[in-house]
Amino acid sequence: MTDAPQEKIRVVIAEDQEMVLGALAALLEMEGDIVVVAQARNGKQAVAAVSTHKPDVLITDIEMPEMTGIEAATQLKGSSTRVIIVTTFARPGYLRRAMEAGANGYLLKARPARELADAVRRIHKGMRVIDPDLATEVWGESDPLTDRERQVLRLAAEGVSTEVIAKQLHLSAGTVRNYLSEAIDKLGTTNRIDAARIAREKGWL
Confidence class of residue 136 from pLDDT cuts 50, 70 and 90? Answer: low
| Residues 108, 155 share a domain | no
Assess whether 131 and 151 both reside in one domain: no
pTM of the model: 0.67
Residue 188 in any domain: the answer is: yes
Q: What is the CATH number of the domain that holds 94?
A: 3.40.50.2300
- Tens digits of per-residue pLDDT, 29-49? 898 899 999 999 999 999 999
Buried b / exposed e over 19-30, threshold 16 CB at 10 Å, is: eebeebbeebee
Residue 154's domain comprises 147-201
pLDDT tens digits along 170-201? 999 999 999 998 988 888 787 888 888 888 87
Do residue 155 and residue 128 come from a single domain?
A: no
pLDDT tens sequence across 95-109 = 888 888 999 999 988
Res 139 pLDDT > 70 = no
Domain edge (last residue) among 135, 160, 184: 135
> What pLDDT score was predicted for residue 149?
92
In a shared domain, residues 154 and 111 = no
Is residue 130 domain-shared with residue 186, that is, in the same domain? no
Does residue 25 fall inside a structural domain? Answer: yes
Quick check: 159 pLDDT over 90? no
CA dihedral 20, 78, 82, 102 (to 10 degrees): 70
- Whether the pLDDT of residue 1 is over 50: the answer is no
pLDDT averaged over every residue in the chain: 87
Same domain? 124 vs 154: no
DSSP letters for 158-203: TT--HHHHHHHHT--HHHHHHHHHHHHHHTT-SSHHHHHHHHHHTT
